[in-house]
Structure 1
Amino acid sequence: MSESTRLGRPRTNPSSSTASAREEILDAAAALFAERGYAGTSTRSIAERVGIRQASLYYHFAGKDEILLELLETSVRPSLDFVERLRDTPDPAAALYALAAIDVGTLLATHHNIGSLYLAHEVQEPRFESFRQHRAQLQQAYVDLAAAVRPQGDAAFLGACCMQLVEMVIPMRRDAEPDADIARSIASACLRVVGAEAAAEAGAALLA
């Protein structure tokens, strides 16, 4: 039986939500990680927030590490999937705009701004290596697109600048929910970094 179909014990406080138990656990954990930090959050407290027994939580996740890893992956996986769709795009500047916009949207959609934990010391430990590798792959996509737009430029620097611009949405979201145009604004800023502002319209068309 897969993790997603395992059945736990009856809830101590049944929820009327239509979300799956797994999604409810992820949401509760993200909220607690944001409030108390990773070290200050126990699986018991996550289970209590959801309204299930602690033993039931283990039907869905092996432990706290697996929960955090899944949450971190949700902050990069959709963007990496989009990179694959851009492989054959003939206009790298438009692709850069589209990737930045999608990436901002991905970060905005994560549970309780989970990107704010990127620099937590726990995330630097070996058990989260797969996430760090995926984030590095995403940065490499920015580098590759920057290199295609400006072959004579410092692609590693330009790509890193673009990714940093995108991840600015994390502290912005922490302070106040950004406006609806933030993805477009940040994507346009990435084009300015590589000197290709005119590609914004083509990038927007890629998104459409």
Structure 2
Amino acid sequence: MGTSGRRVGRPRAAQRPDSGLSPRDELLTAAAELFTTRGYAATTTRAVAERAGMRQASMYHYVSGKEELLAALLESTVTPSLALARHLLAEDAAPAESRLWELCRTDVELLCGGPHNLGGLYLLPEVHTERFAGFHAVRAELKDTYRQLLAATAVGGALAKSELDLRTDLVFGLIEGVILVHRSDPERPVSAFAEATADAALRIVGV
């Protein structure tokens, strides 16, 4: 739900330093912190509003509730990777192997970077409901781009469809699986972790 047509300037519950964020982005930042530390089910809308420095009633001026915040956070972990994937797919002058490696590396950095492990939200049972169809649609498109890049490699181009699908599933599963590895060792340097994961993904492909 966007903020188009809405008025701004609702009263705050407490004075907070000006973050430079819009009220909606402040709510998303607060939700990211609370969902990943306290848990989604245990986080109330009141807690999110208070963490963002506004009254609970004011929160509904910007979002409809927790589900909208979770949906927006989930999509924020996928849409930048999808934009890069589309760019890499169109950049056919570069070898497909290097483009696939770059997508894997960047995707891992996105999932594991930032102050909160938003990728961990993928594991919530609530995410499998119809309310999050938008996230699943974007995720499916990203996975299809992985498949197209894999098919464009020398090895992938020689695979039968069933084998290509299997290797795509394995590569995509590896990338999303870093969520659990990173959560168990959050101090691991993300850049080195991302490069090692991209190397492993290309080994799965057979490059």
| TM-based fold match above 0.5 | yes
Cα distance in structure 2, aligned partners of 1:26 and 1:7: 16
Structure 2: tracts of 5 or more residues without a match: none
Secondary structure of the corresponding residue to residue 86 of structure 1: helix
Q: Report the equivalent of 2:150.
A: 146
Pairwise CA distance, 1:137: 1.2
Per-residue Cα deviation, 1:109-133 (whole angstroms, up to 9, x for no partner): 3562121121322110101011011
Q: Report the equivalent of 1:97.
A: 101
TM-score, reference length from structure 2 = 0.86
**Measured at CA, do residues 102 and 45 of structure 1 come closer, stay the same or move farther in structure 2, by a change above 3 Å?**
same
Q: Report the equivalent of 1:49.
A: 51
Q: Report the equivalent of 1:112.
A: 116
2:173 is aligned with 1:164 = yes
The 8 Å contact of residues 86 and 145 in structure 2, kept in 1 or not, is answered as: no
Structure 1: tracts of 5 or more residues without a match: 197-208
Q: Report the equivalent of 2:141.
A: 137
2:191 is aligned with 1:185 = no
Cα distance in structure 2, aligned partners of 1:110 and 1:169: 14
TM-score, reference length from structure 1 = 0.85
Question: Percent identity of the aligned residues?
Answer: 40
The 8 Å contact of residues 112 and 119 in structure 2, kept in 1 or not, is answered as: no
Pairwise CA distance, 1:85: 0.7
Per-residue Cα deviation, 1:35-70 (whole angstroms, up to 9, x for no partner): 333222221111112221012211221211110000
Secondary structure of the corresponding residue to residue 158 of structure 2: coil
Secondary structure of the corresponding residue to residue 17 of structure 2: coil
Report the number of matched residues.
195
2:164 is aligned with 1:155 = yes
The 8 Å contact of residues 8 and 56 in structure 1, kept in 2 or not, is answered as: no
